[in-house]
Structure 1
């Protein structure tokens, strides 16, 4: 039986991470506008108002993709005067192989960075390699192999100048149509996490994640969350951790191409003690237009 292409290293445990991390715009207000021209050029404008610093930041991005030729180009310019370019070449030498070049430039500081990447995907295998040209150079490689729903992954980084292994991590997982389990050993095998995702039915999803850092504490941090679809255009999310932080998220498709998301985070321990410290609670919203 042919094996599917496994997820990449960064996507191991993604289903649980999405439940616990996405659609909670609690740090400020964001506005995102995406438009596409008849020639295939996509423009994206993104703005963020940060509640903590009261600052407003944003970036303008333009991208073009030719799926038949396997070529994509993205250019972006941020309000912090950071220029970013991203070139992708896919399926040119062989099927499943993609090359990328990602560069950033800060003109006033003459700071620059270039990342070269190669990705190969095949049934049962997902391999990536990155070369950070100006840092080190630092070579990072990761791979995930999978068979019958069982996954095993590893990542390592090697500093060429220092001639030493600067980072190594391991992960394993089990993926099924309605649930997924992932175990990570990160920080040179000093931090361990286990996550679980379960699609209970067509309307309800749930996940949990436990994290233990052997260097900082003897405690295990636990976080649980759920996502409930109200209808085809709206859903509600909720999560809570063992520190007593309760977060709520609500997303509503107002019309095709227009989506609003609202987030609220409450310190349940301070609420229980009757504290009136408003800084312990956070609220935010995001609005997305796409045409």
Structure 2
């Protein structure tokens, strides 16, 4: 198995304990569709228990021939012109691709995120390992991210993020580096204008055993701002990990086991050495009822239980139902119920 990033050492257990529990939102709807020319659309809407609503609409174009095409530049340009309609200025031109000198078409991804409290405009441009993403939101914050993967060295990904707030003239520049090999996964995050500060983490692995650590450093203060460590063991059917975060003051032990093709189980225990001797415990299980449905359940040491049910009603239509109950306060209105619909074509 590949070595995970430091933040993903306990991913299997964390996913089992947190994903697919639909009570977290009172209602969720998601619509996905794909067109013959590799354009994928996704519309998402959510309503929280606090009556706040949010939504997102996204369009994504993927050139499946990128890196394999042998078409001439003239042919690529002709195909792109056929796909781009003048009447669909911003959407079609951003989703179908741009013809450039060379044998390929450069794909572009475009999405708009809308919420009750604001909106975000995001554009993404990708070319042979280079990705350019631009974001503009209603706080009038401009962000530009440039990513370069596997170009400087195999397994190395470099990412630079530029941010600008015109109203206050505030600027930000961040540099993120990720280097991944068969037995090593390292990351470094630098904030070049604030501090500057650096956050670095690394994980090494051998025959399933992994060990990792992370640390933060403020150059201006010449001081370490935080550090964490973790050890674990990963196998195809099970995994276990122990993490110590927040300057080695919060300890967590997690375990995940895929019992068979139908049953998964996991647990996590957490102890904060600063707050006392109480240990928090949470256990969860997932049971696949048949090829099109599964059920999940979990409960923690405070007596809060949650259940979830997911079923494929018909090809392209998925229903998720969930509820949580405070077993120590059954007479009070502390329970939550949620539903999710996903439509895909």
TM-score normalised per structure 2: 0.73
- 1:284 CA displacement: 1.4
3-state DSSP class of the match of 1:26? Answer: helix
Quote the Cα distance in structure 1 between the aligned partners of 2:198 and 2:186. Answer: 14
Tell me, yes or no, if the aligned pair for 1:88 and 1:100 is still in contact at 8 Å: yes
Quote the Cα distance in structure 1 between the aligned partners of 2:166 and 2:34. Answer: 29
Q: Of 216, 232, 257, which residue of structure 2 is paired with 1:198?
A: 257
Tell me, yes or no, if the aligned pair for 1:86 and 1:100 is still in contact at 8 Å: yes
Q: Of 140, 153, 159, which residue of structure 1 is paired with 2:218?
A: 159
- 1:183 CA displacement: 0.3
When the two structures are aligned, how many residues end up with a matched partner?
A: 282
TM-score normalised per structure 1: 0.85
Q: Does 1:247 align with 2:306?
A: yes
- 1:138 CA displacement: 2.3
Tell me, yes or no, if the aligned pair for 1:117 and 1:128 is still in contact at 8 Å: yes
More displaced 10-residue stretch of structure 1: 196-205 or 23-32: 23-32
The unaligned stretches of length 5 or more in structure 1 are none
3-state DSSP class of the match of 1:165? Answer: strand
Q: Does 1:229 align with 2:288?
A: yes
Q: Does 1:287 align with 2:341?
A: yes
3-state DSSP class of the match of 2:178? Answer: strand
Tell me, yes or no, if the aligned pair for 1:61 and 1:76 is still in contact at 8 Å: no
Question: Which structure: larger Rg?
Answer: 2
The unaligned stretches of length 5 or more in structure 2 are 68-127
- 1:110 CA displacement: 6.7
Quote the Cα distance in structure 1 between the aligned partners of 2:175 and 2:55. Answer: 25
Tell me the equivalent position of 1:11. Answer: 8
Q: Does 1:50 align with 2:48?
A: yes
Tell me, yes or no, if the aligned pair for 1:116 and 1:131 is still in contact at 8 Å: yes
Tell me the equivalent position of 2:19. Answer: 22
Deviations 1:154-189 (A, max 9, x none): 111112222211110000001112110000000100
Quote the Cα distance in structure 1 between the aligned partners of 2:34 and 2:191. Answer: 32
Tell me, yes or no, if the aligned pair for 1:65 and 1:71 is still in contact at 8 Å: no
Deviations 1:27-76 (A, max 9, x none): 32223334456665554433321112x11123444556666422345556
Structure number with higher strand proportion: 1
